[in-house]
Amino acid sequence: MANMPLLGDPFPEITVLTTHGEKNLPGDYKGKWFVLFSHPADFTPVCTTEFYAFQKRLAQFKKLGCELIGLSIDQVFSHIKWVEWIKDNLKTEIEFPVIADTGKVAETLGLIHPGKGTNTVRAVFVVDPKGNLRLMIYYPQEIGRNMDEIVRAVTALQTSDANGVALPADWPRNELIGDEAIVPPAKTVAAAATRMKEHTCYDWWFCHKKL
């Protein structure tokens, strides 16, 4: 397996065939966020529920300036027929492209985990407008993803970038500080001494503020 990209790395340049034609990643999405997610196989129950759920949240992703891209090691005609099945039977049109991977993308991104079989695992990659990999999540085939968490993660990354803050567990509904953000820790003794006068704090190393 090729060395898979790590957080902060440039997303590998790959030309892919999709249900919307040939695309170049990440170049065709320059200036936008995108979420690339893999699924084990077309015409399988858990994957069908995931595609339905992703499509239902497409407007939320679009509002964030974020595109969706699906992927599995299936031929493009299989993707097309599956998307048609979802439209005909679940009354939902899949509007995002689905990559027909020959195995090249799966190898590059580490999507085949031998201990879980020969299909791609359920991976999620969030890539920023500069083409850098910002978040990775892997799920086994038997567990479907939480799409609201992926929306939350993209929102949190954008909020962190825009405000230079960190965000707590379950943000924006954290059990300690609600929807507030965590102020970066002080880097000098002098800053630590004044930190608790400038922000609401549990201690000088744990301060938070409204955005």
Q: Which of 47, 66, 201, 207 is catalytic?
A: 47
- ∠ CA 54-84-137 to the nearest 5 degrees? 25
The domain over range 14-146 is classified in CATH as 3.40.30.10: yes
Tokens of 106: 């799966």
For 164-211, which CATH superfamily applies? Antioxidant, Horf6; Chain A, domain2 (3.30.1020.10)
Tell me the C-alpha distance between 172 and 181, whole Å: 9
In tens digits, what is the pLDDT along the chain, a chain of 211 residues? 456 788 999 999 999 999 999 999 999 999 999 999 998 889 999 999 999 999 999 999 999 999 999 998 889 999 999 999 999 999 999 999 999 987 788 888 877 777 766 677 789 999 999 999 999 999 888 899 999 999 999 999 999 999 999 999 999 999 999 999 999 988 899 998 898 899 999 999 999 999 9
For the chain, how many residues are written? 211
Which are the contacts of 194, defined by CB distance < 8 A and separation ≥ 6?
Answer: none
Beta bridge mates, 139: 122
Q: SS3 of 93, please? A: coil
| CB burial readout 184-198, b (16+ within 10 A) else e | eebeeeeeeeebeee
Question: What residue segments make up the domains of the chain, in order of their start?
Answer: 14-146, 164-211
pTM of the entire structure? Answer: 0.92
Q: Would residue 207 show up in a list of annotated catalytic residues for this protein?
A: no
